[in-house]
A and B are shown apart, each in its own frame.
Chain A
Amino acid sequence: MTRLSTPEAPGLQIDTSTEPLIAWRTWALTGRRDGSELLLRPVSGRARPWRPREIAEASCRGARFHRAPQTGCTCGLHGTHGFEILRKTKNPTVLGRVAMWGRIIEHEHGYRAQFAYPQRLKLICQFCFWEWGPRCDRPEHVGWFPRNDLIPLCEEHLHLAIRHGMEPHAVLNAARVSQRLLDAYAIDALAI
């Protein structure tokens, strides 16, 4: 069903739907040194984490009385139509599919949504992902860094990182971290 645009969003068509939209997205990952308390976080680092088994809800720090997402702002839970654009993301560690609902603003290359929850996830070596895309091999290791940052790395890029002074304080088995992440969020693995 199509409605006329509103004063709030002049010139934009408004549609309604009962089916959540599915989009691509990347996240950063944090957790404790032993791989527990895993938490998906926006790659920008400034927004709220996506807590396991809680619906993620958009909010906007820019304007207190403004419903997120809002046209004319960048707020909202972002997702993209395709995964190629995500290869330019800064420091992605988890790639996945996300279901979005509520108020959604569709853009040329993706969406900004009011509510979302992950549907499928996969750990990625950000260097392999940047070079080869999502069909790269799964990383073997997850490095634990200060501030609880967890960074999955393939064997080659782990050694490269160490050689360039980016040595993790601990190295975890990526398959185990991956399974813990899926269990925490109660979802399945991304099958690509």
Chain B
Amino acid sequence: MDIGEPKRIIEVIPASLPIPGELAPEPAPLEPDHVEPDHVEPDHVEPNHVEPDHVEPAAPGDQGAEP
């Protein structure tokens, strides 16, 4: 199709692209606000104290009884 003689050149740099929203480039993330790092005190944990099982000594005669 003949659109005639050239007249001028235009360099168009649009402020926003005329394309559907989902094609538009993601905006650059904002700089995060300055956040103090969390100060977390470690939990104070007592070491486990485990009482040994108390075992009753076997009564005499229980062991090795013949049927």
Contact = CB atoms under 8 A, between A and B. Distances in A.
A187 B21 CA distance: 10
Chain A interface SS verdict (over half): strand
Given A16-B13, A20-B12, A102-B12, A55 B7 contact: no
A112 B20 contact: no
B20 A14 contact: no
Classify chain B's interface size.
20 to 34
B30 interface: no
A112 B3 contact: yes
Interface in B19-65: 19-23
Contacts of B10: 14-17, 21, 103-106
Interface residues of A, number: 40
Nearest to B12: A101
Contacts of A108: 3-5, 7
Chain B interface SS verdict (over half): loop
B4 A117 contact: no
Contact of B22 (A15, A53, A71, A85): A53
Given A117-B19, A187-B20, A14 B11 contact: yes
A117 B12 CA distance: 14
A14 B8 contact: yes
A70 B8 CA distance: 12
A175 interface: no
A16 B14 contact: no
B2 to A, nearest CB: 8
Interface in A90-142: 99-112, 117, 119
A22 to B, nearest CB: 8
Interface of A: 9, 12-21, 53-55, 71, 78, 80, 85-86, 88-89, 99-112, 117, 119, 185-187
21 contacts: A12-B6, A12-B9, A13-B9, A15-B8, A15-B10, A16-B11, A16-B13, A17-B12, A18-B15, A21-B12, A71-B9, A80-B1, A89-B1, A103-B12, A104-B9, A105-B6, A105-B8, A108-B5, A109-B2, A111-B3, A186-B21
Given A78-B3, A104-B12, 11 more contacts: A13-B9, A14-B10, A16-B13, A17-B10, A19-B14, A21-B12, A55-B17, A78-B1, A80-B1, A88-B1, A108-B4
